[in-house]
């Protein structure tokens, strides 16, 4: 049972961590694509970790002292999580102020520990995200509103010994975004804050509902050579409510089940003729709860079409 808990609470959140820490679109932030522009991007992410942020509803590793929730400790039973993910993003400007987006991820995930050192991995398409972003104001700050939905298209089942790649339920994200060019300095800043509503799954598919979440990010970037080479840094955070165990006659909240995370991302990008972009990034977890700890390495390639 404890081995199952380690998978349920720490490997499934790892998928969310990759989604949460995924390198953003090169043409992103509060700005939207112009009418007729199409941005296509593929991003490869990798994480391998044997550490996580502790919560009281899971066992403390032997030989370690777990004194508080959010403490960075090893996985129980010498567990190790390995994740490789490929994200495919498409964004299209249907109007100068209105942009539609679609994201389809593919995951290769494996979690092993002493009770089950040969547990099979899972290689499946994950939950699909789609939505729209509307540019509200261009001055004094670029201001946009984005609405995204996450559909439970990814592999998910009740068997905690099989690592899932989806959450088994719908999400609805609503966020407010601000952007500002620092010209004549070749830099920019982006701010985002939003709320994620996490709906209950069908009881025949899952019996746990994640708590709603607040998320935020602050990003700054600088172009060293005009339109050619640049760097960025971003601080992002997430704070969720308690999970709820669902039953036919209601349910109850699971103590100490909230998900929390604060991440720091640094990245470099190169652009050719304003169309082709290549980006490399490292996202480091600074603090958290019910999340794996460690670094996520990413590389992305994007191309901007104009019609």
Listed range (30-34, 114-118, 196-200) with the worst mean pLDDT: 114-118
- Pick the closest to residue 10 from 296, 291, 293 (CA basis): 291
* DSSP label of 78: G
State if pTM tops 0.75. Answer: yes
CB atoms near residue 30 (< 10 Å): 25
Q: pLDDT value at position 43?
A: 95
CA separation for the pair 85, 43 (Å, rounded): 8
Mean pLDDT calculated for residue range 242-253: 84
Query: How high is the mean pLDDT of the chain?
Result: 87
Mean pLDDT calculated for residue range 37-58: 91
Delimit the domains of the chain by residue range: 2-306
For the cut 60, the answer to whether the pLDDT of residue 150 exceeds it is yes
For the cut 60, the answer to whether the pLDDT of residue 22 exceeds it is no
Longest dimension (CA), the chain: 62
Residue 289's SS3 state is strand
- Pick the closest to residue 50 from 41, 39, 61 (CA basis): 61
Q: pLDDT value at position 161?
A: 62
* DSSP label of 171: E
- CATH (residue range 2-306): 2.40.128.130
CA separation for the pair 103, 3 (Å, rounded): 32
Q: What are phi and psi of 153, to 5 degrees?
A: -90, -15
Mean pLDDT calculated for residue range 254-281: 91
| Higher per-residue confidence, 118 vs 44 | 44
For the cut 60, the answer to whether the pLDDT of residue 1 exceeds it is no
Q: What is the pLDDT of residues 210-245, one digit of tens each?
A: 999 999 999 999 998 777 899 999 999 999 999 998
CA separation for the pair 3, 226 (Å, rounded): 52
Q: Is 278 in contact with 269 (CB distance < 8 Å)?
A: yes
Mean pLDDT calculated for residue range 26-47: 89
Q: What are phi and psi of 177, to 5 degrees?
A: -125, 140
Residue 77's SS3 state is helix
Q: pLDDT value at position 77?
A: 85
Q: What are phi and psi of 253, to 5 degrees?
A: -75, 145
* DSSP label of 294: S
Q: pLDDT value at position 62?
A: 83
Q: Is 149 in contact with 171 (CB distance < 8 Å)?
A: yes
Mean pLDDT calculated for residue range 81-90: 93
Strand-pairing partners, residue 180, are 189
Listed range (9-18, 98-107, 170-179, 248-257) with the worst mean pLDDT: 9-18
Strand-pairing partners, residue 287, are 262
Task: Quote the percentage of the chain above a pLDDT of 70.
Answer: 89
């Amino acid at each position: 049972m404890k081995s199952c808990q380690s998978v349920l609470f720490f490997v499934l959140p790892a998928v969310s961590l990759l989604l949460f820490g995924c390198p953003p679109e090169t043409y992103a932030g509060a700005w939207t694509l112009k009418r007729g522009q199409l941005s296509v991007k593929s991003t490869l992410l990798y994480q391998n970790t044997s550490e996580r942020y502790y919560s009281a509803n899971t066992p403390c590793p032997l030989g370690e002292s777990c004194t508080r929730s959010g403490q960075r400790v090893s996985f129980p039973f010498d567990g190790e999580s390995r994740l490789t993910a490929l994200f495919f993003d498409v964004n299209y400007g249907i109007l100068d102020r209105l942009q539609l987006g679609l994201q389809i991820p593919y995951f290769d995930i494996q979690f092993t520990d002493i009770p089950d050192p040969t547990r099979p991995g899972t290689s499946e398409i994950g939950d699909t995200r789609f939505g729209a972003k509307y540019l509200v104001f261009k001055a004094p700050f670029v201001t946009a509103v984005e609405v995204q939905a996450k559909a439970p298209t990814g592999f998910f089942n009740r068997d905690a010994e099989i690592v899932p790649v989806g959450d088994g339920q719908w999400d609805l994200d609503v966020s407010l975004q601000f952007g500002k060019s620092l010209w004549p300095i070749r830099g920019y800043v982006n701010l985002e804050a939003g709320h994620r509503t996490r709906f209950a799954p069908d009881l025949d598919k899952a019996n746990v509902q994640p708590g709603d979440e607040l998320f935020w990010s602050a990003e700054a970037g600088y172009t060293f050579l005009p339109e050619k080479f640049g760097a960025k840094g971003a601080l992002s955070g997430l704070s969720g409510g308690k999970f709820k165990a669902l039953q036919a006659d209601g349910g109850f909240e699971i103590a100490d089940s909230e998900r929390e995370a604060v991440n720091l991302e640094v990245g470099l990008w190169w652009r050719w003729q304003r169309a082709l972009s290549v980006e490399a990034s490292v996202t480091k977890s600074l603090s958290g709860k019910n999340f794996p700890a460690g670094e996520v390495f990413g590389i992305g390639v994007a191309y901007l079409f104009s019609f």
